[in-house]
Amino acid sequence: MTCGRSRWLSAAAMTVPVLVAGLGWRPSLRAAPAQGSDWTESPGPRYLTPVALQLSPDGRRLYTVCQDSDLVLAVDTHSQQVVGREKVGRKPAGIAVSPDGKKLYVSNELSSTLSEIDTDSFQVRRTLDAGWGPVGITTDRYGKVLYVANTQGGDVSLIDLSAGREIKRLDAGHFPEYVALSRDGRFVYVSNLLARLATYDEPVVSELTVIDTSRQVVSQRVDVPGVIQLRHIAEVPSTAGGYLLVPFMRPKNVNPLIHLQQGWYLTHGLAVIRPSGSRGMDERKARVSEVLLDDIDHYYADGFGAASTPDGRWALVTASGADIVSVIDTAKLNRLLRQAPAADPEALANRLDSARQFVARRLPTGRNPTAVVVSPDGRFAYLTNRMDDTISVVDMQQLKIASTIDLGGPKEVTAARHGARLFFDARYCFQGQLACATCHPHGGLSDGLAWVLETPQLGRDVVENRTLLSITETSPFKWNGKNLDLATQDGPRTAMYIFRSQGFSPAEVKDLVTFMNSLQMLPNPRLASESGLNEAQARGRGIFFRTTTNDGRLIAPQDRCYYCHPPLTHFTSRVTMNVGTATPYDTIQGFDIPQLDGVHMRAPYLHNGEALTLEEIWTKFNPQDKHGITSDMDKVQLNDLIEYLKTL
Amino acid sequence: MGILSCFGLLAGLLLLAPRPSAARDLPLYTQWINYTQANGFPEGEVFCVTVDGNRVWAGTAHGLVLLENGQVKRVFTQADGLVGRAVMSIAVDKQTGDVWIGTFGGLSRYSGGQFKNYTNLSSGLANDLVYSVAIQGQYVWVATAAGVCRLDTYSGAWTIFNEKNAPFDEPWAYSLALGKDKIYMGVWGGGVIVYDTANRSWRPYEDPDGEMEIVLYRNQGLIHQIVSGVAYNPDTDMFWASTYFGLSGYDGRNWHNYLSKDSGLASDFINAVKSRGDEVWACTDKGLSYLDYQRQIWVNYRPDPKSGHGEIEITGPDGKKSHVKTATSIAHNYTLNMDFQGTDIWVGTAQGLSHGIRQPQKGEQVNESSRNRR
């Protein structure tokens, strides 16, 4: 193993962790907070940050969850005033209304709980347990079972509401985020934010998971090819087409980022999905079409919310990076779809001249519009402006913004809030194609893809995207470690290589960095507390800190796990290192050592995402023991090490 | 009932010979429908068969077969995403509907029309030679050539049990069966190991004769170390072990061992065992053996090599034998595994899959599945 810096510098940097290990002291883990507790809150005013909303069955009440204030609000749609507030769990993310309108259900992502609220008293009646990181939530048509998408768990919890507990958990796709009940109640659809794990040279495929509500099993896993970030799901009634509309992002991640025209390196659109509706054999019979919402000279970044009017005449899709809601004429969309070959889902997927055929209006909203719903009479649509603490009201007869409801958030804009707004704003990019949030969705995650960000040569220096959560104190940045701080990463580099534009001003970069420094790792559900390691995890910790091989030979300090991944500095020594994973297509041999915090949810691994699982890092990509001494381990030891790593 | 089927049944009835009095009301499988290469089934061995309502999953040397209502609906191969060619075990999760498939190339899960695969390089699976799969709530138990693994489907955590942390003399786990808070593991060369999931304790059962190929004292323990299959019967609270040198049953206090030389067992070389109610079924290399445990009556099914028809051999508790000829027979005498579908049975053999239809008993309603003729 050779170091990217001189040997003495590296040795100096390693002194502390080596010493403490040599003294036999097991450094304590970074204080990973237990679920729902010790979550660091930013100082200053507490913004509401509404992210999801639902209407009461009679349309008189609008309910919205506010993720930064842990509140659910009730708004009178006639007076457009807030008439109720109730505290729920940590970071509420989703909301559902019971069919009779008497109860609300709120998913609390950081608490991994669900709050049940009585709509009359507007008080929490009970708190239920969910899986890991619940977001999307819906009841079945009878109001007896809740379906909850658990983002970190990768599954859907079925909660029996009379018993108040989970009765079943169904495996979904990669980071299931939103759910929707079909109009006839037969199915629950689940959209998955991230694509199925694959190496960079394999096509990207996302999944829409279909659950049969009568049998309560997964009946279909619909392939949606070439896209990621499936978001909210809208079902157009059968009279208008009878399909699902799901916003997506379509990456061209292995093209070098020098070709700006014709979709550059990602586009935004809608998946038009017709699940088979069959309750028989679970084959892939769904029909999928993909259309773009972007225009040839302007993009509408980060499609998020989707809704249909009750008659299906119009569909609405928010572009959360463009501060726009697109109103779609479904009759014209149907006409376009009929022209495309039914067997080819991607026939229209690269046509930037499609949107003008079926988009009736592009209406300006507040900042960062997310969810959208339509009133039962189809008269109005409501959408949350997450970064403004407001709700826009769309007049669906005149197709214009009728009013804006102020939810009463703080009016002062702090540096962090300004930075957050910049994070979600695609205006700084050439033709508005992308914002920071485009490649770092769900508040700063990695999109799980490898990109060719740097060189103009096709296929060279393919690099895996990284998380933005808890990256303060993990500089330098960039896969070669050449960006010394976030300001360098987000300033000139982003402007030159990512946005291909003027980019952010120095003051804006400063606020953006303030915001990014506030992004924190999600609570790790695998670790209850420092002393909460189970047997396998404890054995794995011993392996992580081991100094000898199984047969007693001393492991050289630079070959020990904690040498490059010391726990005191987020498990990164913050230097570059050659671990034998460079390919013939890499222009460098040593790569910036990533932090291991939250590694359990950061697949795929290694600098180019070649290792799809943690196991593969060592079973496939460490033949020479350059990435730690692992060749003497048996399978049980490797499993133990991995179980420990998953707790970080 | 079709005309041809009636003819077959009548022919079977006409061939009936008088049975011993004790066996007169014994249920017999007199009609067989076979799925072989001749009619579109993959060639070669059928290593496993699992019934799920009106669906039958069969694991073959060349892929996974799904039959619905007696018809071959689909054959899945590696081209469809199945992780390995030879399918050794299939388990259906009744809660989720997911189908777990053990192959010689790893473990597959079939769900919603998609395969998701686990190999020992990409996951915590101990070894890609997967012999048996069983589902216990949120846990998937997997018997491999390098021990028994358990996958927690909620957390994604793998746990491996082998000679280092469990009383395995050999790591080669061939078979799994679920009991009340117990996992029964049949180990090739290692006997039967029972893991109590409630108190996390182990209890091994071994051949007290060691690995000698003789039985010094009958019924003193497991009949042989080389265990090919294990089954738990909740009706009798007994577990049964098939070995290459006889059949063993344990009721918690006493062992009940059987050898072919002094019982009606078709052969000591047994590939798998199944049990329910008073029935014990042993898949041997010389036919399918059935034991009425209460009455100690044996019934063996095999094809007659001379006539090509079926032969049923009945052995009474007094050792007296009688024979019944049937027009149709099981596909091959080398039987590998079986499962129940109501009163019917499905049997995997060395050359195809056999569907055994039980002769209707007096006053009994005919099993709906028996009406599905090919």
Cα–Cα distance measured from residue B225 to residue B233, given in angstroms and rounded to the nearest whole number:
21
Q: Is A343 on the interface with B (CB under 8 A)?
A: no
Is position A581 within any domain?
yes
Q: Classify residue B313 by burial, with Cβ atoms within 10 Å: 0-12, 13-18, 19+.
A: middle
**B371 in reach of chain A (CB within 8 A):** no
Nearest CA in chain B to A208: B112
Pairwise CA distance, residues A420 & A515, whole Å: 6
Lowest mean pLDDT among A54-68, A401-415, A482-496: A482-496
- Tell the burial category of A282 from Cβ atoms under 10 Å away from its Cβ (0-12, 13-18, 19+): buried
Closest by alpha carbon to B280, among B302, B262, B256?
A: B256
Q: Going by C-beta distance under 8 Å and a sequence separation of 6 or more, which residues neighbour residue A235?
A: A180, A182, A183, A189, A242, A243, A244, A245, A308
- Long-range contacts (CB closer than 8 Å, 24 or more residues apart) made by B246-251: B246/B215, B246/B270, B247/B223, B247/B273, B247/B280, B247/B282, B248/B222, B248/B223, B248/B224, B249/B275, B249/B280, B249/B293, B250/B205, B250/B222
Cβ-contact A565, A546 below 8 angstroms: no
Asked if residue A317 is part of any domain, the answer here is no
Q: What is the DSSP letter of A429?
A: S
Per-residue model confidence (pLDDT) at position A460: 87
CB-based contact A635 B73, cutoff 8 Å: no
Total domains in the fold of chain A: 3
Q: Please state whether the peptide bond connecting residue A476 to the residue before it is cis, i.e. omega within 30 degrees of 0.
A: yes
Reported ipTM: 0.91
User: Nearest Cα to A111, choosing from A80, A74, A152, A73?
Assistant: A152
DSSP E strands in A56-101: the ranges are 61-66, 71-76, 81-87, 92-97
pTM (2 d.p.):
0.92
Which one of A281, A639, A647 would you mutate to disrupt binding with B, by most B Cβ within 10 Å of its Cβ?
A639
Lowest mean pLDDT among A95-109, B2-16, B147-161: B2-16
Q: How far is CA A75 from the centre of its chain?
A: 28
pLDDT at B5 exceeding the cut of 60: no
CATH code: domain of residue A428: 1.10.760.10
With vertex at residue B57, the alpha carbon angle to CA B55 and CA B61, rounded to the nearest 5 degrees, is: 160
In a domain? residue A616: yes
Instruction: Measure the CA–CA gap between B170 and B146, rounded to whole angstroms.
Output: 8
Q: Out of A401-410, A511-520, A528-537, B17-26, pick the least confident.
A: B17-26
- Smallest CA-to-CA distance from A465 within A509, A434, A511 is with A434
E strand or H helix at A421: helix A415-424
CA-to-CA distance for B197 and B199, rounded, in angstroms? 6
What's the pLDDT tens digit per position in B55-82?
999 999 999 999 999 899 999 999 999 9
Interface test with A, best of B123, B127, B138, B164 (most A CBs within 10 A): B123
Question: What is the identity of the amino acid at A389?
Answer: D
CA A341 to chain B, closest CA, distance in angstroms equals 23
Altogether, the residues listed in chain B come to a count of: 374
Q: Which sign does the torsion angle of CA A214, A216, A221, A224 carry? A: positive
Q: Is residue A14 part of a domain?
A: yes
Contact B121/A639, CB-based, under 8 Å? Answer: no
Of the candidates A285, A613, A636, the beta carbon closest to that of B160 is on A636
Query: In a 3-state reduction of DSSP, which class is residue A97?
Result: strand
CATH number for B33: 2.130.10.10
A621 falls within a domain: yes
How far, CA to CA in Å, does B61 sit from each of A268, A287, B36, B83, B175?
45, 33, 12, 13, 18
Q: Are B310 and B32 in contact (CB under 8 A)?
A: yes
B239-276 confidence digits (pLDDT tens)? 999 999 999 999 999 999 999 999 999 999 999 999 99
Q: In A, which residues are within 8 Å of B156 by CB distance?
A: 154
| Subunit contact B121:A131, Cβ cutoff 8 A | no
pLDDT tens across A354-390, in order? 999 999 999 999 999 999 999 999 999 999 999 999 9
Question: A17 with A101, same domain?
Answer: no
Task: Answer yes or no: do A145 and A119 share one domain.
Answer: yes
Q: Over 90: is that where the pLDDT of A276 sits? A: no
pLDDT interval class at A43 (50, 70, 90): low
- Alpha helix segments (H runs only) across A476-585: 486-490, 492-493, 506-518, 535-544, 561-564
Between vectors from CA A385 to CA A416 and to CA A133, what angle results, nearest 5°? 75
Neighbours of A345 (CB within 10 A): 22
pLDDT in the model for residue B38? 85
Q: What is the pLDDT of residue A42?
A: 54
A96, A126, A161: which is the final residue of a domain?
A161
**pLDDT score of A562:** 97
CATH number of the domain that A56 lies in? 2.130.10.10
By percentage, how much of chain A surpasses pLDDT 70? 90
Annotate A63-84 with b (16+ C-beta within 10 A) or e (fewer). bbbbbbbbbbbbbebeebebeb
Q: What tokens were used for A517? A: 């420094």
> Strand (E) positions, A541-625?
576-577, 591-592
Same domain, yes or no: A502 and A576: no
Range of the domain at B292: 3-371
Contact B96 A218 (CB under 8 A): yes
Strand partners, A249: A228, A268
Q: Span A243-254, mean pLDDT? A: 94
CB A432 within 8 A of CB A297: no
Select the residue from A207, A214, A282 to test the B interface by mutation, using most B Cβ atoms within 10 A: A282
Q: What is the pLDDT of residue B308?
A: 82
Instruction: Note down the domain range covering A423.
Output: 417-518
Contact A193, A179 (CB under 8 A): no
Chain A residue numbers with beta carbons less than 8 Å from the beta carbon of B96 are 168-171, 217-218
- Residues in Cβ contact with B154 at an 8 Å cutoff, skipping those fewer than 6 apart: A131, A153, A155, A169, B138
b/e burial code for range A524-558 (CB count within 10 A of at least 16 → b):
bbbbeeeeebbebbebbbebbbbeebeeeeebebb
- Is the pLDDT at A171 greater than 70? The verdict is yes
Residues A581, A584, A588: CA angle, nearest 5 degrees = 65
**Closest of B45, B67, B49, B47 to residue B58, by C-alpha:** B49
Least confident among A236-240, A593-597, B21-25 = B21-25
Confidence of residue A26 (pLDDT cuts 50, 70, 90): very low
Q: Which of B328, B362, B312, B267 is nearest to B19 (CA)?
A: B312
**A526 and chain B: CB distance < 8 Å anywhere?**
yes
- Check CB contact under 8 Å for B111 and A218: yes
Q: Let me know: does A250 contact A226? Beta carbons within 8 Å.
A: yes
Tally of structural domains, chain B: 1
> In this structure, what token pair is assigned to residue A232?
């909210």
Mean pLDDT of the B213-223 span: 79
The pLDDT tens digits for A521-575 are 888 888 755 568 999 999 999 999 999 999 999 999 999 999 999 999 999 999 9
**What confidence score (pLDDT) does residue A592 get?**
95
Question: What is the structure's pLDDT at A493?
Answer: 82
Average pLDDT over residues B213-231: 86
Are A27 and A87 found together in one domain? no
Q: What is the dihedral of CA A189, A190, A195, A198, to 10 degrees?
A: -80
Q: Is the CA virtual torsion A627, A628, A631, A634 positive or negative?
A: negative
Strand order in the sheet with B201-205: B173-178, B182-187, B191-196, B201-205
pLDDT band at A347; cut points 50, 70, 90: confident
Interface test with B, best of A169, A187, A615 (most B CBs within 10 A): A615
Does some domain include residue A121? yes
Q: Looking at A161, A195, A210, which one is the last position of a domain? A: A161
Question: What is the predicted pLDDT for the residue at A528?
Answer: 54
Residues A464 and A551 in one domain: no
Share of chain A above pLDDT 90, in %: 80
pLDDT at position A13 over 80: no
C-alpha A602/C-alpha A614 separation (Å) is 10
Q: Do A635 and B74 touch (CB under 8 A)?
A: no
pLDDT of residue A555: 97
Work out the mean pLDDT of chain A and round it to a whole number: 90
* pLDDT tens string A307-327: 999 999 999 999 999 999 999
Which residues lie below 8 Å from residue B286, measured CB to CB, with a gap of 6+? B266, B267, B269, B300, B302, B333, B334
Q: pLDDT, tens digit, for every residue of A584-601?
A: 999 999 999 999 999 998
Classify residue B125 as exposed, middle or buried by CB count within 10 Å of its CB (0-12, 13-18, 19+): buried
d(CA B113, CA B76): 11
Last residue of a domain, one of A136, A161, A186: A161
Mean pLDDT taken over chain B: 90
The band of B170, judged by pLDDT with boundaries at 50, 70 and 90, is confident
What whole-number distance in Å separates Cα of residue A601 and Cα of residue A615?
A: 14
At A169 the pLDDT is 98
Q: Quick one: closest CA in B to A281, which residue?
A: B113
Q: Do B146 and A635 touch (CB under 8 A)?
A: yes
In a domain, A303, yes or no: no
Cβ proximity of A71 and A87 under 8 Å? yes
Q: What average pLDDT score do residues B195-200 get?
A: 95
B119 touching A, CB under 8 A?
no
CB-CB contact of A111 with A129 (8 Å): no
